[in-house]
């Protein structure tokens, strides 16, 4: 395997934490993640004509794998308090930056 400049640095370690279809839920999760100083990014998936049966618009909230447990706890607490529903994915992102 070829070594790159970034081989010694831990990169490309984002986890697709959960899928959210409700805009109010997404905004509440963002607020809680920021309040707890958890870095995240959101990837939007737009439904298309060939995606029958899938939700039209939803987003996937991704976090660094070192923050997964804390982020999951924060989101679970929020969902219990507010009655939101999210689908936890807990899988590695498919992004290839290098």
Mean pLDDT by 10 residues, the chain (98 residues): 54 88 96 97 76 69 95 97 96 71
Which pLDDT score, from 0 to 100, does residue 55 have?
55
Q: Please check whether residue 65 lies inside any domain of the structure.
A: yes
Q: Please check whether residue 85 lies inside any domain of the structure.
A: yes
Q: Please check whether residue 54 lies inside any domain of the structure.
A: yes
Which pLDDT score, from 0 to 100, does residue 13 have?
86
Structure tokens at 62: 């991704």
Q: Please check whether residue 16 lies inside any domain of the structure.
A: no
The residue range of the domain holding 55 is 21-92
- Alpha carbon separation from 40 to 23, 27, 63, 85 (Å, rounded): 16, 13, 5, 19
Q: How many CA atoms lie within 13 A of 89 on its CB side?
A: 17
CATH classification at residue 51? 3.30.70
Which pLDDT score, from 0 to 100, does residue 73 have?
98
Instruction: Please give the tally of structural domains in the chain.
Output: 1
Q: Please check whether residue 1 lies inside any domain of the structure.
A: no
pTM of the entire structure?
Answer: 0.77
- Alpha carbon separation from 81 to 13, 18, 19, 43, 75 (Å, rounded): 30, 17, 18, 25, 10
Which pLDDT score, from 0 to 100, does residue 18 have?
96
């Amino acid at each position: 395997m070829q070594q790159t400049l970034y081989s010694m640095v831990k990169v490309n370690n984002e986890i697709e934490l959960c899928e959210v279809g409700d805009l109010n839920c997404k905004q509440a999760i963002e607020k809680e993640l920021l309040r707890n100083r958890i870095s995240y990014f959101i990837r939007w998936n737009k439904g298309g004509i060939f995606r029958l049966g899938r939700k039209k618009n939803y987003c996937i909230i991704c976090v660094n794998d070192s923050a997964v447990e804390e982020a999951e706890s924060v989101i679970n607490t929020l969902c219990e308090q507010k009655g939101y529903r999210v689908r936890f994915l807990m899988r590695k992102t498919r992004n290839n930056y290098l």
